[in-house]
Amino acid sequence: MPMYYLNSNLTSLYIQPGLTVVAAFQILSFRSIRSLLAPRGKMDFFDQRLAQLLFLDLVIYLVFSIVPYFFGKNPCFRYGPAWKGILLLLLHYLLFIACFMLILFCIKIKYPFLIIIFASVLPILYHYGLEKTWLLPKYANIYDPLWRAIHHMYIL
């Protein structure tokens, strides 16, 4: 049972906040040289390069989160329609992009740690506040707690 909880919530609770913190440290490591680029007029070029770095992090995340669906033994979306499952995944990716944009904003402000904490906690709030209570029961009945209680399915 604990392993199932770890696997079913792995993306929202562990991987997304962890990658957000890693991206924040990548961005904050370049803060010291940002002031040296201002006299040369290279601030926009520098910001574009940092956005490309975050985009590369996002692509790596997308590849490693989609590949298990293709090579696993189970079908991709076994509990509900594929189009709803794809929309749920796209919402995760859009949330991740929004968190990365917040992290990219951190290089321009003086005290970025509050934004880093907010961007790290946002996927967890999304998972428990919106996805688990409202979106997943719309995707499939098996994620509805009342339906599981009626059918005596307490594993999920």
- Highest average pLDDT, of 6-15, 81-90, 95-104, comes from 95-104
Q: What is the pLDDT of residue 117?
A: 92
Is 41 a member of any domain? yes
pLDDT above 70 as % of the chain: 85
Is 150 a member of any domain? no
Is 18 a member of any domain? yes
At residue 3 the predicted structure's pLDDT band, cuts being 50, 70 and 90, is very low
How many domains is the chain built from? 1
Q: What is the pLDDT of residue 118?
A: 93
* One-letter-per-residue 3-state SS of the chain: CHHHHHHHCHHHHHHHHHHHHHHHHHHHCCHHHHHHHCCCCCHHHHHHHHHHHHHHHHHHHHHHHHHHHHHCCCCCCCCCCHHHHHHHHHHHHHHHHHHHHHHHHHHHCCCCHHHHHHHHHHHHHHHHHHHHHHHHHHHCHHHCHHHHHHCCCCCC
Is 78 a member of any domain? yes
At residue 73 the predicted structure's pLDDT band, cuts being 50, 70 and 90, is low
Is 26 a member of any domain? yes
Q: What's the mean pLDDT when you consider all of the chain?
A: 80
Is 141 a member of any domain? no
For residue 62, the enclosing domain spans: 2-121
What's the predicted TM-score (pTM) here?
0.77
Is 108 a member of any domain? yes
Residue with the bigger pLDDT between 75 and 115: it is 115
